[in-house]
Amino acid sequence: ASVLREVLEETGIRLATAEYKGIVSWDLEGESTGGMHAFIAEVPEDVTFATPLLVDEGILAWKELDWLLHPDNAGVPENIPLFLPAMLSTTECFQYHFYYKNQRITSHEMTLLSEPITNR
């Protein structure tokens, strides 16, 4: 419910559901510094949402999946092509954890979550 409310508040788009897909977290220089819970939702076909749009969190924009995952794309964080394909291809939920040194990924791991959160 909080994800649906947040999307509505930030974009004005009313989603019917959102599917929990896991956690993306990271260590910077050996220190655990952040993470996020990831959800995937389908936007209703009748929604009109003009982008790009500057918001407090950054720029909202519609992009094709191929653009997001392109190996030469410097416009998205480098961890997205490493977790998003797996996230989109499975119904299971994982924690995708990344280790950084000198602002570059040195390694990453994917761990199955034993009790995924579901949208009720």
User: How many domains are there within the chain?
Assistant: 1
With bands split at pLDDT 50, 70 and 90, how would you rate the model's confidence at 114? confident
Which CATH number goes with the domain that contains 88?
Answer: 3.90.79.10
Q: Is residue 83 part of a domain?
A: yes
Task: Write the pLDDT tens digit of every residue in 66-100.
Answer: 999 998 999 899 999 999 999 999 999 999 999 99
* Residue 95 domain boundaries: 2-112
Give which of 33, 37, 41, 31 is closest to 7, Cα–Cα.
41
Q: Would you say residue 19 lies in a domain?
A: yes
Q: Are 31 and 23 in contact (CB under 8 A)?
A: no
In this prediction the pTM is 0.82
Residue 38 located in a structural domain: yes
* 67: Cα within 13 Å, side-chain hemisphere: 5
Judged by DSSP in three states, 73 sits in: coil
The answer as to whether 120 is a domain residue is no
